[in-house]
């Protein structure tokens, strides 16, 4: 097993796009971990009784540093510039944490539900399969953005509500994927042997079937992690997601709506308002996609 | 024969697979994989089950192990009807009602033999509801007991072991679950079982991909063996191995049989293996038994034309030996729509008119030699 692991790792690090993916991901992870050092959660506008800048109650709410809502170009104090009185660097840095939070929670939860539903459907087959797959079809037939909007109208807006919506409408692809894999594996002789030994169904699923079917799902989950952040950003852009001032790439783009077209005669006057949150998002998605590709290359025996 | 104890008795076993089509998954036809098959396996013997691909050999094995639910028929192990063990409660109750209660109410009790007689006495003693609850009680223990009686060794050594778990777990999970061995004894017992089949005991911490095909098949044997079964169904267990390894595994199986007093149902399409290993041979054609006889009798004096044709196809490793081969024409018909009468008649060189009309029953021509043919022995 050890030699195999070594071989896998060597293969992984011979592939330039895999290296790029993992480096980008590492970079984002470092930014997320060291966010308080890169952009301290303080507001220099309001000194406390000792004269030090005030600590923020909630570091995810970007401090308002200026009363002018117009964009301020990058300067030494604000290297990414400012918009709506908020530092763009601060938003991008703390937005990395938000992105990870959204991605990991939503992907973990929706993959979990998808695996449960898909494996029950695939393993037991028959009418159980039929019923569960028709429910899956119903969920798939609803356009996601519409469903998320309706759901946030019911639940109220907010990042947690958006995440709930994304979980509720995000498990279907996983369920279908795992079901298809299970249909393939459950006729394997080692599964039949386990049945002949009288092993309980849930142990057969957990020990014999899932470990042999889970990898495509992990790859898909990795790829989905990136794109989910875009979806969340889209919802935030529409005003359904994070509350005003929340450090989230989508909400940051929301501020730029009035400045996207630039000033008259200068199309690129406010480029920094779109560029920095946008590039963060693009690189984040790219990182996960490259990592997903690399994992697929490693786990898929057909591509070996 | 009669002094030997019957371990397993299959009565009128039928297994049909539905073919579904359309939006509502309506059943449009049935694949008649096994159609009314009866035979007995005595304790300690090796029964060879032969036939060409698709004749239902493997289906019989799988149905015996209850990996498939039989469509109808009875599977009697020792002195217990085990057919209903794996049915859901109400289905099992329905089965008991159909198979026993109706028979007990309508038929003459004097005629009952074997298991019917035993269950009739139970029925008289306990009454109808008592009879149900007696048969349906402790179903979990009964299932466990059944699993301990019968085990299977599969054909493909590469897919019969889970590639992601260690040999120790593969071999011990069943016995631990059925409390055949205690958790504290796992290492010792697994080691002993592996060494018995010729695998080094310390290799139990390895993964299946670290073994060769023959070794994996031995591990499969160890897995079955540690359950301490009476009957092992070997489903083409040596077909995937090359010839030198094959003989080793067969000899291992014979050694283990002597040591543990095992009974084998050896499913194979390879007549030379069957000839080597079996005490009795059952020949199948298109879901039916055509001939069932002790090995010696069957190989020297086959009575069914199909068996005869099969025998003539055994290769003889002698280039000077010229023998007459019986070449059958045509293909095996589809089990969805089998021929009327005798299923072999479209390909049979000696078929007469009656063969296409009447199905020949499986008759005992000599003691222990059963043939399903209207004109047994007519093909010379």
> Which domains are present in chain B?
84-137 (no CATH), 147-277 (3.40.50.300)
Interface mutation vs chain B, best among A181, A196, A203, most B CBs within 10 Å? A196
How sure is the predictor about A302, in pLDDT bands with cuts at 50, 70 and 90? low
Rounded to an integer, what distance in angstroms lies between the CA atom of residue A157 and that of residue B223?
A: 57
Please check whether residue A73 touches B, CB under 8 A.
no
For residue A231, count CB atoms less than 10 angstroms from its CB and return exposed for 0-12, middle for 13-18, buried for 19 or more: buried
Q: Give contacts of B146 with chain A, Cβ < 8 Å.
A: 198
User: Kind of pairing, strands A86-87 and A82-83?
Assistant: antiparallel
pLDDT of residue B264: 93
Q: Give contacts of B164 with chain A, Cβ < 8 Å.
A: 211-212
How many Cβ atoms from other residues are within 10 Å of residue B364's Cβ?
11
pLDDT > 70 in chain B, percent: 99
Please check whether residue A7 touches B, CB under 8 A.
no
Q: Are A137 and A65 in contact (CB under 8 A)?
A: no
Distance from CA of A128 to the nearest CA of B (A): 14
Q: Which domains does chain A have, with CATH numbers?
A: 17-47+55-303 (1.10.3720.10)
Please check whether residue A189 touches B, CB under 8 A.
yes
Q: Are B65 and B283 in contact (CB under 8 A)?
A: no
pLDDT of residue B237: 85
Closest CA to B347 of B306, B286, B375: B306
Please check whether residue A188 touches B, CB under 8 A.
yes
Contact residues, A window 209-248, toward B, CB-based 8 Å cutoff: 211-212
Task: Indicate yes or no: CB of B152 within 8 angstroms of CB of A193.
Answer: yes
Interface mutation vs chain A, best among B67, B155, B159, B222, most A CBs within 10 Å? B159
Both structure tokens of A197: 């030994």
Q: Which of B147, B159, B178 sits opposite A189 (nearest CB)?
A: B159
The per-residue pLDDT for range A224-267, each reduced to its tens digit, is 888 888 888 888 778 777 777 787 888 777 777 777 776 666 76
Rounded to an integer, what distance in angstroms lies between the CA atom of residue B147 and that of residue B139?
A: 12
pLDDT of residue B2: 47
Q: Are B306 and B344 in contact (CB under 8 A)?
A: yes
pLDDT of residue B3: 59
Q: Give contacts of B207 with chain A, Cβ < 8 Å.
A: 1
Q: Are B226 and B171 in contact (CB under 8 A)?
A: yes
**ipTM for the complex shown:** 0.87
Rounded to an integer, what distance in angstroms lies between the CA atom of residue A171 and that of residue A183?
A: 18
Task: Indicate yes or no: CB of A198 within 8 angstroms of CB of B174.
Answer: yes
Query: In what side-by-side order are the strands of the sheet with B363-366?
Result: B150-153, B231-235, B263-267, B46-50, B280-285, B288-294, B369-371, B363-366
Distance from CA of A127 to the nearest CA of B (A): 11
How many Cβ atoms from other residues are within 10 Å of residue B276's Cβ?
16
Mean of the pLDDT values across residues A49-63?
74
Rounded to an integer, what distance in angstroms lies between the CA atom of residue B371 and that of residue A156?
A: 78
Both structure tokens of B47: 């029964």
Dihedral pair phi/psi, residue B80, rounded to 5°: -125, 140
pLDDT of residue A304: 45
∠B349-B302-B276 over CA atoms, to 5°?
Answer: 130
State the greatest distance between any 2 C-alpha atoms of chain A, in Å, as a whole number. Answer: 78
DSSP code, position B2: T
The count of C-alpha atoms lying within 13 angstroms of the C-alpha of B63, restricted to the half-sphere facing its C-beta, is 30
pLDDT by residue, tens only, chain B of 380 residues: 445 788 999 989 999 998 888 777 788 888 989 988 999 999 989 999 998 888 888 899 999 999 888 999 999 998 888 888 988 888 888 888 888 888 888 888 788 878 888 888 888 888 888 888 888 888 888 899 999 999 999 988 888 898 888 899 999 998 998 888 888 888 999 999 999 998 998 898 988 888 888 899 999 999 999 998 999 999 888 888 888 888 889 999 999 999 999 999 999 988 888 988 999 999 999 989 999 999 998 888 888 989 888 888 887 777 777 777 777 877 888 888 888 888 888 888 888 888 888 888 888 888 889 999 888 877 76
pLDDT > 90 in chain B, percent: 25
Q: Give contacts of B147 with chain A, Cβ < 8 Å.
A: 196-198
Closest CA to B16 of B52, B68, B65, B87: B68
User: Kind of pairing, strands B363-366 and B369-371?
Assistant: antiparallel
Chain-centroid distance, C-alpha A155? 21
Rounded to an integer, what distance in angstroms lies between the CA atom of residue A274 and that of residue A267?
A: 12
How confident is the prediction for chain A on average, in pLDDT?
82
Helix (H) or strand (E) holding A82: strand A82-83
Q: Give contacts of B170 with chain A, Cβ < 8 Å.
A: 190
The per-residue pLDDT for range B188-201, each reduced to its tens digit, is 999 999 999 989 98
Q: Which of B144, B161, B164 sits opposite A198 (nearest CB)?
A: B144
Q: Which of B67, B156, B177 sits opposite A196 (nearest CB)?
A: B67
């Amino acid at each position: 097993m050890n030699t195999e692991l070594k071989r896998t790792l060597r293969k992984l690090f011979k592939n330039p796009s895999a290296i790029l993916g993992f480096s980008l991901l590492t970079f984002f992870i470092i930014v997320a971990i060291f966010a308080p050092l890169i952009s301290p959660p303080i507001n220099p506008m309001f000194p406390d009784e000792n004269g030090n800048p005030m600590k923020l109650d909630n570091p995810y709410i970007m401090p308002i540093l200026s009363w002018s809502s117009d964009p301020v170009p990058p300067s030494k104090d604000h290297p990414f510039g400012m918009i709506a009185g908020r530092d763009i660097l601060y938003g991008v840095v703390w937005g990395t944490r938000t992105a990870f939070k959204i991605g990991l929670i939503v992907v973990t939860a929706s993959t979990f539900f998808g695996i449960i539903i898909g494996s029950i459907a695939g393993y037991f087959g028959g009418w159980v399969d039929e019923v569960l797959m028709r429910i899956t079809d119903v969920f798939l037939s609803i356009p996601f953005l519409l469903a998320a909007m309706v759901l946030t109208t019911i639940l109220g807006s907010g990042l947690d509500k958006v995440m709930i919506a994304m979980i509720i409408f995000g498990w279907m692809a996983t369920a279908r994927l795992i079901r298809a894999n299970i249909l393939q594996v459950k006729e394997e002789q080692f599964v039949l042997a386990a049945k002949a030994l009288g092993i309980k169904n849930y142990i057969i699923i957990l020990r014999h079937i899932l470990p042999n079917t889970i990898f495509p799902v992990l790859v898909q989950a990795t790829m989905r992690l990136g794109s989910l952040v875009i979806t969340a950003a889209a919802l935030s852009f529409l005003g359904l997601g994070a509350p005003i001032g929340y450090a989230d790439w989508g909400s940051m783009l929301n501020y730029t709506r009035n400045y996207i077209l630039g000033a008259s005669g200068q199309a690129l006057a406010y480029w920094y308002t779109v560029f920095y949150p946008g590039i963060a998002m693009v690189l984040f998605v790219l990182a996960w996609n490259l990592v997903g590709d690399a994992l697929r290359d490693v786990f898929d025996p057909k591509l070996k | 024969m009669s002094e030997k104890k019957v371990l397993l008795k299959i009565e009128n076993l039928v297994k049909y697979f539905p073919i579904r089509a359309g939006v509502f998954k309506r059943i449009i036809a049935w694949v008649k994989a096994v159609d009314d098959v009866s035979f007995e396996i005595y304790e300690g013997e090796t029964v060879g089950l032969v036939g060409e691909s698709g004749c239902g050999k493997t289906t019989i094995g799988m149905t015996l192990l209850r990996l498939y639910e039989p469509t109808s028929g009875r599977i009697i192990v020792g002195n217990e009807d085990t057919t209903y063990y794996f049915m859901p409660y109400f289905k099992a109750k329905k089965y008991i009602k159909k198979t026993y209660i109706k028979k007990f109410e309508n038929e003459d009790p004097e005629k009952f033999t074997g298991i019917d007689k035993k269950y009739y006495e139970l029925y008289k003693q306990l009454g109808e509801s008592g009879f149900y609850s007696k048969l349906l009680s402790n179903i979990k223990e009964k299932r466990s007991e059944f699993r301990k009686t019968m085990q299977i060794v599969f054909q493909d050594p590469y897919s019969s072991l889970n590639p992601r778990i260690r040999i120790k777990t593969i071999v011990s999970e069943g016995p631990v679950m059925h409390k055949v061995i205690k958790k504290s004894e796992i290492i010792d017992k697994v080691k002993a079982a592996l060494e018995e089949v010729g695998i080094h005991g310390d290799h139990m911490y390895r993964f299946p991909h670290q073994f060769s095909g023959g070794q994996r098949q031995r591990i499969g044997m160890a897995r079955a063996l540690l359950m301490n079964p009476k009957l092992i169904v070997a489903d083409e267990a040596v077909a995937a191995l090359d010839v030198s390894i094959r003989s080793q595994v067969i000899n291992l199986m014979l050694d283990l049989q002597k040591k543990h007093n095992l009974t084998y149902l050896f499913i194979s399409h390879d007549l030379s293996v069957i000839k080597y290993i079996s005490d009795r041979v059952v020949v199948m054609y298109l879901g039916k038994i055509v001939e069932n006889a002790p090995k010696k009798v069957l190989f020297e004096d086959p009575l069914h034309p199909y068996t005869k044709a099969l025998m003539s196809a055994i290769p003889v490793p002698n280039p000077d030996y010229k023998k007459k081969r019986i070449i059958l024409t045509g293909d095996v018909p589809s089990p969805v729509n089998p021929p009327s009468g005798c299923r072999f008649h479209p390909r049979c060189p000696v078929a007469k008119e009656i063969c296409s009309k009447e199905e020949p029953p499986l008759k005992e021509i000599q003691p222990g030699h059963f043939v399903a043919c209207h004109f047994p022995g007519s093909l010379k």
